[in-house]
Amino acid sequence: MALITTDICIIGSGPVGLFAVFEAGLLKMRCHLIDVLSQVGGQLSEIYPQKPIYDIPGFPRINAQQLVDGLMEQIAPFKPTFSLGERVEQLRQLDDSSFLIQTNNSTEVRCKAVVIAGGLGCFEPRKPAIHRLEDFEGKGVAYMIKNPETYRNAKVVLSGGGDSALDWTIFLADISSEVTLVHRGDTFRGSPDSAEKVFSLAKQGRINLVLQSHITGIQGNGHLQKVIVVGRDNEESHIEADHFIPLYGLTPKLGPIADWGLNINHSAIEVNTFDYSTNVPGIFAIGDINTYPGKLKLILCGFHEAALMAQSAFKYVYPEQKLSFKYTTVYGVSAF
């Protein structure tokens, strides 16, 4: 287990999280960043690295990855540290008002202020709207396959039409006693090779392929026993199942942050626009993850929010000191 002590822990290393390091650094506050992705840059690096952005002041056009690279260069003097590929799980306030943050990788970060710059949030499996689905989680229902051995010699029903549904159907065909793939369409948009393999396995009778159908219910007594399927003719049928694995891609959610006692409005964190503080003293939220009247989800707005946040975070890091505002043009950037 690693214990990191810093002034500010920033959750999310997208452009706004990165720029927060700069604003904090100007006020002599050190930062540690945690991101569930294995690289910095958030959406910009992960989703659209080569897309041009046109509304960054001073840059008529800049590619997303160039902006991230520029931010990394800009914050380098302040020597930020990173825990990448880790997801924040718990936040606890200690007796001295400092915070202790824990990740899923058992990294612990002790800090005086927390800045949530989580953008869209964490991508989590999308759950279908099936009555009592959550009652069977861990009792036959799973949204991802962690240990394939769980499914050896078992009756498994998968649903979905993407690559992961196809790939796992092919894999489980070899180890499970019965594999059924239920898909709402009659074609697959996943890899053509995988789709062809699935059709071929169905032809050989090694899997059951149920097309143009939906799973509408699940039944069991303590553990999953069967799923209910409605087909194109609206006829209902049952499939016996030890396991049901809905594979409907990922959707952004707040994740564990939603359980920290913060005021949440439509999956966004409510903040005071004076300093982008949340209702919990010492915790701030900046960038796409916050909400307030007039909120615009723009990188440049996130930069502004980072600047104001740092002014207020200062009082948590240096409660005895008086903050004096300084221009970089006058004082430059003093590296740590």
Minimum CB distance to another protein, residue 172 (Å): 19
User: Which residue number, 185 or 281, has a Cβ lying nearer to another protein?
Assistant: 185
User: Which residue number, 70 or 125, has a Cβ lying nearer to another protein?
Assistant: 125
Minimum CB distance to another protein, residue 244 (Å): 12
User: Which residue number, 124 or 275, has a Cβ lying nearer to another protein?
Assistant: 124
- Which residues, 6 or more positions from 233, have their beta carbon under 8 angstroms from its beta carbon? none
**Positive or negative, the Cα torsion across 83, 84, 85, 90?**
positive
In this structure, are residues 14 and 41 in contact, taking their beta carbons and an 8 Å threshold? yes
Own/partner pairs, 203-210, CB within 8 angstroms, 24+ separation: 206/173, 206/179, 207/169, 207/173, 207/179, 207/180, 207/181, 208/178, 208/179, 208/180, 208/181, 208/239, 209/180, 209/181, 209/183, 210/180, 210/181, 210/182, 210/183, 210/239
Please tell me the distance from the alpha carbon of residue 210 to that of residue 184, in angstroms, as a whole number: 9
Indicate left, alpha or beta for 252 from its phi (over 0: left) and psi (-120 to 50: alpha).
beta
What are the distances in angstroms from CA 325 to CA 4, 23, 310, 333? 29, 11, 11, 13
Minimum CB distance to another protein, residue 126 (Å): 7
User: Which residue number, 107 or 213, has a Cβ lying nearer to another protein?
Assistant: 213
User: Which residue number, 80 or 121, has a Cβ lying nearer to another protein?
Assistant: 121
Minimum CB distance to another protein, residue 127 (Å): 8
User: Which residue number, 241 or 310, has a Cβ lying nearer to another protein?
Assistant: 241
- Which residues, 6 or more positions from 63, have their beta carbon under 8 angstroms from its beta carbon? 49, 50, 51, 52, 53
Minimum CB distance to another protein, residue 76 (Å): 29
User: Which residue number, 105 or 191, has a Cβ lying nearer to another protein?
Assistant: 191
Please tell me the distance from the alpha carbon of residue 188 to that of residue 334, in angstroms, as a whole number: 56
Q: How many residues does the chain have?
A: 336
Minimum CB distance to another protein, residue 287 (Å): 12
User: Which residue number, 185 or 332, has a Cβ lying nearer to another protein?
Assistant: 185
Minimum CB distance to another protein, residue 161 (Å): 5
In this structure, are residues 11 and 88 in contact, taking their beta carbons and an 8 Å threshold? yes
Please tell me the distance from the alpha carbon of residue 163 to that of residue 294, in angstroms, as a whole number: 39
Contact residues: another protein, CB under 8 A:
43, 47-48, 120-121, 126, 128-129, 159-162, 184-185, 188-189, 214-215, 246, 248-249, 251-252, 266-267, 288, 297
Minimum CB distance to another protein, residue 234 (Å): 14
Please tell me the distance from the alpha carbon of residue 113 to that of residue 126, in angstroms, as a whole number: 32
Minimum CB distance to another protein, residue 216 (Å): 10
User: Which residue number, 174 or 186, has a Cβ lying nearer to another protein?
Assistant: 186
